[in-house]
Amino acid sequence: MSEGYDPKVLGICCRWCSYAGADLAGAMRLQYPPAVKIMMVPCTGRVDILHLLKAFEAGWDTVFVSGCHEGDCHYLAGNIQARKRVAKVKKFLAEVGIEAERLEMFWISSAEGPHFARAATEMTERALRLGPSPVKREERQAWLAAQGVAGQVAEADVAAAAQVLSPS
C-alpha cells in the first residue's frame, strides 16, 4: 500500500517528560519507525499554532505533540495550552481539506518509553494510510495514482489545501 512512499513524521516533545520517554524507549531498545524525527521543546506550551502549520507547510506528513500528563507540567499549564492549540489546528486543517488526523496530542511521562514507541508507530501508520500530505501536490498525486484512487480526491481540494498552507 505504501510502496515508494517514505512518510515524514515529526514528534514535538517536551524536554522534561516526553523527550525523556523517547530516550527511555531508546535505552530499552524498543523499536519505532525511523520516519519519526523528534524535536525537543522546553514545554509543549511553547508550541504555537504557527509552528504546527509551518510543519505541514514544510512537508511533514503527520505531526504529533507530546507533553507531560495533565496536571504534571513543569511549567504549570503549558500542556493544557498545547492541547487547546492542537485542537484549533485540527479544526483548521479539516476546514482547508487536510485530514485532521494528521495531527495528534499525546501525554507521555519520562517513565513511559513503551507508550512513546506506540505513539510514534501509530503516527507513522497514519501517515502510511493517509499518504503524502496534500501540501506535497505532486507526490500526493503520484501516490493516489499508484493506489488507484486518483479520481476519488478532487484536484481542486488538493490545490486549495496547498495554496492555504504555502502561498506563492
**Segment 68-123, tens digit of pLDDT:** 999 999 999 999 999 999 999 999 999 999 999 999 999 999 999 999 999 999 99
Spatial distance between the Cα atoms of 56 and 42, rounded to a whole number of angstroms: 21
What letter does residue 45 receive in the DSSP assignment?
A: G
pLDDT at 4 (0 to 100):
80
Are the C-beta atoms of residues 60 and 136 closer than 8 Å to each other?
A: no
Other C-beta atoms within 10 Å of 71: how many?
10
Spatial distance between the Cα atoms of 62 and 83, rounded to a whole number of angstroms: 16
Burial class (CB within 10 angstroms; exposed 0-12, middle 13-18, buried 19+) of 4: exposed
pTM over 0.85: yes
From the options 2.60.120, 3.90.70, 3.30.565, 3.40.50, give the CATH code of 9-131: 3.40.50
**Amino acid in position 70:** E
> Pick from 131, 103, 108: which is nearest to 118 by CA?
108
* Strand pairing category for 62-67 and 9-14: parallel
Domain ranges of the chain: 9-131
pLDDT digits (tens, 9 = 90+) for 149-165: 655 555 555 556 666 66
pLDDT band at 148 (very low <50, low <70, confident <90, very high): confident
pLDDT digits (tens, 9 = 90+) for 39-66: 999 999 999 999 999 999 999 999 999 9
